[in-house]
Amino acid sequence: MMRRVLIAAVTCVFLTLTTTISLPAGVPDEPFVQEIHQPHPLGSPEANDVRAVAVDRDGQVWAATRAGLFRLERQTGKWTAVVPENGAGPAFDVAPAADGGVWAAAWNGVWRARGSQARRVADVTGPVGTLCVTADSVLAFGPDGLWVLRGRTWRFRTTPFSKAIQAALVDADGVLWLASPIGLYRVTNKGWRVYRKRDELLSAAVGGLALSSDGTLWVAGLGGVTLYRGGHRVGEFRPADGLPTVFVRTVARGPDGRMWVGTTLGVARFDGKTWSLRHSRRWLLSDDVRDVAFGPDGTAWIATAKGVSAIVPRRMTIAEKAAHFHHVCYRRHVREPYLVEQCYLPVPGDTSQWKPIDTDNDGLFTGMYLAMESFRYAATGDADARERAKKAFHALRYLRLVTDTPGFVARTVIPSSWTDMADRNRTYTEQEWAEIRVRNPRQKRVEKRWRLSKDGKWLWKGDTSSDEITGHMFAYHCYYKLAADERERDLVREQVCAVMDYIIDGGFVLRDIDGKATKWAVWSPEKLNNDPDWITERGVNSVEILAYLKLAYHVSGNEKYQRAYLKLLHEHHYDENVRHAKTVNPAWRTHIDDNLLAQSYLILFDLEDDPELRSLYRESIDWWYAQVRDDQSPFFDFVYAACTGQEPVQLDADVFFFHDTPLDLVRWTIDNTRREDVRIVHRPEMEAFQTDRLLPPSERGLMRWDRNPWKARWGTGGRYERPGTSWLLPYWMGRYYGWIGDGKR
């Protein structure tokens, strides 16, 4: 009893220190550019078939579409059709006029539009496909030839050029360049020349032209981008150099000097050193990009096959980004009794309406949320963080209380009125069960997963996994250490000991209501050491159970937990099991294990003070980190740094993750298997398609630390939204440990 009081007193002092101590400032949280996608569909399929987009001198946005010319109303954000005097029809190009408004190339010639008015130029007949507007002239190219406006007079000219001109520009030397399906034309007052040979262009099919900041001409077409300077080819960009595909449509220079290359797989940007890609519904209404134009605020307006997308740059700090993610989490991702996970979107991507859902891992991810709020409280002293942590703890505690057992923990609970849930109760025929068992002899026959609570208010789900227990224990450790007051620490102690007593009494397994171990929650020496079918879990489950026991001993002072801990280590050889706990066999390795190991390691290193055991755990965590370092996970990096007592070894990459992760938490489908700038491989995990290089967070699916960041295919078509916890947890860890600044200036 005296020991228990002493432990509580020391913990109270530690808690006070951690919430008031002045930590190092860390990496300064300087403002960075966060890009945000704003979709602007036009309505009908014809109108959404956008061929070109332009921003006039007043910042007005215009779109040339198969249904005609449209103007984006600034106040309403809706498109208005701009109809010329003799009726609408398809428009093919649009370009800003020098004196305001735009010129449009259309099915019946050239239109001049300002505000809500448009008129057709009477002197231009026949269809016009491409415009080139300079300070003193307008060139209009069509299948019948070329019309030129100088002053107020339009004149028609026949030319020796292709009648299918795709793009035109005049460079600083007054040279006219024309892109066509049969080559690149260079026109001066002394004559013209066409480039189409293999040593002149990647291919003769050219579709887009733009000048870079240094005057280099970028020629976009089939095969990639060819670079010209002074009339000579000086370089190229192909998929091997960073383009996602050989099917390149257009190119434009942004106000910051970056070159934007529109392709059939999105828009790629080059900053002079590296490429980035904006693709998938996260960033574009369609990956089929036709044109790019820029607004005065730096917004990129992108014409696609399904409407216009705006990629808006917004300056913000990491702290401001965290506030955004907290808002999203609290608004749509907390459901009674304060479980935190993803939600369902009935209309893909539409977060104005959502539906709470259950998942198998509600306990695990609510635990990570609880850990996050605990770190937030410890870093800031914010009473809101402490209160939310308390609510999350009581929700996890209720997952034990609802089962009406001494220590069994439910996976999740849902209101008893719900009729739509994951893994409904079902029965198996003997034939069905034989099929399952032959494929997986370890499979447990669970026909009744959901049970009604005693008060009739809840349905709770059984067959709880080791993942859930690890998430719980990690959360209890962080809450007890960082945010719980004395009364709450008593409840944490009660909860941890109840679960651990139940596991120990069951022979180091978690027994379900049927008295048998659940499918995954097994930590017994008999299974881990002697059953060959459990070899895949031997290392990670050994680390887990040792962490649980160490935590139980720490919060209670009860020697039985320490005795069990040492017995597993030395008599059952868990010391050898944990030495290389992370499996590297490509058939067995998973990122689920990496997440569970990270949480367990933090408990062990926080609580173990024996030098020999710390040395053992250091060997184990070094082995693990060597396998996960290339994932560039700030959670893994920060856990490793906290456990080893050093600065994060790739803090720049961690900050990049915080910057580059999109604000959009919708699980859009992102398919990188179609890209030609990456190679599809079967590593580090054998069963999935993966990319041979780690793509930036903005180009892959939303990251959770039990998922493989190298995966090539992600998402659910925009039907679900994540709560942002996986970003917020390492962020607040970084703030707590002093590696990330607070963003205050």
How far from 645 is each of 465, 641, 642, CA to CA, in Å?
A: 31, 6, 5
pLDDT tens, 562-574?
999 999 999 999 9
Does 564 fall in a domain?
yes
Mean pLDDT of 233-242: 98
What proportion of the chain, given as a percentage, has pLDDT over 90?
93
Distance CA 636, CA 706 (A): 11
Q: Is the pLDDT of residue 472 over 50?
A: yes
Distance CA 286, CA 298 (A): 21
CB 545 within 8 A of CB 473: no
Domain range for residue 608? 2-31+318-737
Model pTM? 0.94
Of 80-89, 607-616, 638-647, least confident by mean pLDDT is: 80-89
Of 336-350, 450-464, 682-696, least confident by mean pLDDT is: 682-696
Residue 206 bridge partners (DSSP): 221
Size (the chain), residues = 745
Q: Is the pLDDT of residue 5 over 60?
A: no
| Region for 101 from its dihedrals, namely left if φ exceeds 0, alpha if ψ lies in -120 to 50, beta otherwise | left
**What does the pLDDT read at residue 10?**
35
How far from 527 is each of 454, 517, 534, 550, CA to CA, in Å?
A: 34, 11, 6, 21
**What does the pLDDT read at residue 262?**
98
Distance CA 257, CA 551 (A): 55
Does 445 fall in a domain?
yes
Mean pLDDT of 669-692: 95
Closest CA to 698 of 663, 652, 726: 663
Q: Which residues contact 315 (CB under 8 A, 6 or more apart)?
A: 31, 32, 33, 34
pLDDT tens, 488-546?
999 999 999 999 999 999 999 999 999 999 999 999 999 999 999 999 999 999 999 99
**What does the pLDDT read at residue 307?**
98
Mean pLDDT of 382-409: 98
Does 515 fall in a domain?
yes
Q: Is the pLDDT of residue 155 over 50?
A: yes
**What does the pLDDT read at residue 725?**
98
Average pLDDT, the chain: 95
CB 308 within 8 A of CB 63: yes
Q: Is the pLDDT of residue 320 over 50?
A: yes
Q: Is 390 helix (H, G, I), strand (E, B) or coil?
A: helix
pLDDT tens, 276-304?
999 999 999 999 999 999 999 999 999 99
User: How many other CB atoms are found less than 10 A from the CB of residue 530?
Assistant: 9
Distance CA 66, CA 83 (A): 13
pLDDT tens, 376-389?
999 999 999 999 99
216 alpha carbon, distance to own chain's centre:
34
Residue 71 bridge partners (DSSP): 62, 80
Mean pLDDT of 710-714: 97
Joined tokens for residue 561: 């937990």
**What does the pLDDT read at residue 4?**
39
Distance CA 290, CA 262 (A): 6
Does 742 fall in a domain?
no
Rg of the chain taking only CA atoms, in angstroms: 31
How far from 601 is each of 261, 378, 390, 495, 558, CA to CA, in Å?
A: 45, 20, 24, 20, 21
Q: Is the pLDDT of residue 344 over 90?
A: yes
pLDDT tens, 9-42?
333 333 333 333 334 458 999 999 999 999 999 9
Three-state secondary structure string covering 332-369: HCEECCCEECCEECCCCCCCCCCEECCCCCHHHHHHHH
Q: How many domains does one find in the chain?
A: 1
| Region for 477 from its dihedrals, namely left if φ exceeds 0, alpha if ψ lies in -120 to 50, beta otherwise | alpha
Q: Is the pLDDT of residue 548 over 80?
A: yes
Eight-class DSSP state of 247? B
Q: Is 72 helix (H, G, I), strand (E, B) or coil?
A: strand
pLDDT tens, 46-72?
999 999 999 999 999 999 999 999 999
Q: Which residues contact 230 (CB under 8 A, 6 or more apart)?
A: none
Which DSSP string do the residues of 391-436 spell out, in sequence order?
HHHHHHHHHHHTTTSSS---S-EEETT----SS------HHHHHHH
Does 717 fall in a domain?
yes
Joined tokens for residue 270: 């080059």
Distance CA 180, CA 194 (A): 10
**What does the pLDDT read at residue 743?**
81
Q: Is the pLDDT of residue 86 over 90?
A: no
- The CATH number for 507's domain is 1.50.10
Distance CA 201, CA 505 (A): 75
Going by pLDDT thresholds of 50, 70 and 90, the confidence category of residue 88 is confident
Does 38 fall in a domain?
no
**What does the pLDDT read at residue 25?**
56
Max Cα–Cα distance, the chain, nearest Å: 101
Q: Is the pLDDT of residue 2 over 80?
A: no
